Amino acid sequence: MNNRLEDRIAIVTGAAQGMGLAIAKALYTAGSRVAIVDIDEEKVTESAREIDNRNDRSMGRKIDVTNKAQIHGFLKEIRTAWGRPDILVNNAGGALRTPHLLHEIEEKDWDLVVDVNLKGTFLFCQAVIPEMAEMGRGSIINISALAAHWRASLAGVQYTAAKAGVEGLTRQLAHDWGKAGIRVNAVAPTVTITGERVRSLWEKKGKEEQKRVLSQIPLGRMSTPEEIASAVVFLASDESSYITGTTLDVSGGRYLR
């Protein structure tokens, strides 16, 4: 434990596995108590024990991030057990196994991706910000994607649009709540192999297409979940105390602006 976030209370959504779990582990290692939520009850419970097998500084709960009542019930539990949250990481989202070709995307696919990625981020921010404002401090990190301000590699327009919305939400909240001591930023990874589905989509591209994609990245490789988690810990910590309203690209230089 390196104590950068000692005595902080963090919430990470979509954290039963993959990038969310890597983020939760990094926050825990930095000294924070970590509450993780996910739609998969069995996995989120197991992952909370994996983070801290005594469950003194971790807890896992099944929460649908698009359900306002569930979010508020969960926050009440956090307050009772630990206190008010200092850190919120809105990681729940992704392409959610929906098609990426325009003609294959159905209305239900659009609704699912936009609701989980954008509405879920909004609802958690809306619930947590008043508590942070009462404390006069807080750091919110929204997980965006390179797709939000460039284009997607393994997902469709529903994902690109939802992540662009996340970045707009991030900027507006940073402007509106900065005077209350709340910082709101986003992290935008490029393609990161976070699970079997992403790995499968990547492998389907074939060797030549993979080589072409990697040639666009100055560092010449994909990122790891742990590298994304390191950026989140930085934005959650006091080391980034004068940074708000920004999107931090963690893309190996794939997008240069």
Check 28, 159, 242, 255 and give the catalytic one: 159
Identify how many contiguous H helices and E strands the chain contains and give both numbers: 9, 7
Segments of the chain with pLDDT less than 70: 1, 193-203, 257
pLDDT digits (tens, 9 = 90+) for 57-83: 999 999 999 999 999 999 999 999 999
CATH code linked to domain 9-192+225-246: 3.40.50.720
Predicted local distance difference test score (pLDDT) of residue 241? 98
CB 50 within 8 A of CB 18: no
pTM of the model: 0.94
Mean model confidence pLDDT for the chain:
93
Tokens matching residue 99:
């098609």
Predicted local distance difference test score (pLDDT) of residue 203? 67
pLDDT digits (tens, 9 = 90+) for 142-159: 999 999 998 887 789 999
- Give the span between the Cα atoms of 172 and 6, in whole angstroms: 29
Q: Alpha carbon 21 to chain centroid distance?
A: 10
Tokens matching residue 70:
């569930």
- Give the span between the Cα atoms of 171 and 208, in whole angstroms: 38
28 is catalytic: no
CA atoms within 13 A on the CB side of 134: 7
Beta strands in the chain (DSSP E): 9-13, 33-38, 58-62, 87-90, 138-143, 182-189, 247-250
Rounded to 5 degrees, φ, ψ at 105 are -80, 120
Which residue ranges make up each domain of the chain?
9-192+225-246
Amino acid in position 38: D
Residues in the chain: 257
Predicted local distance difference test score (pLDDT) of residue 1? 62
- Give the span between the Cα atoms of 20 and 136, in whole angstroms: 26
Tokens matching residue 118:
């954008």
Rounded to 5 degrees, φ, ψ at 186 are -130, 155
- Give the span between the Cα atoms of 208 and 222, in whole angstroms: 16
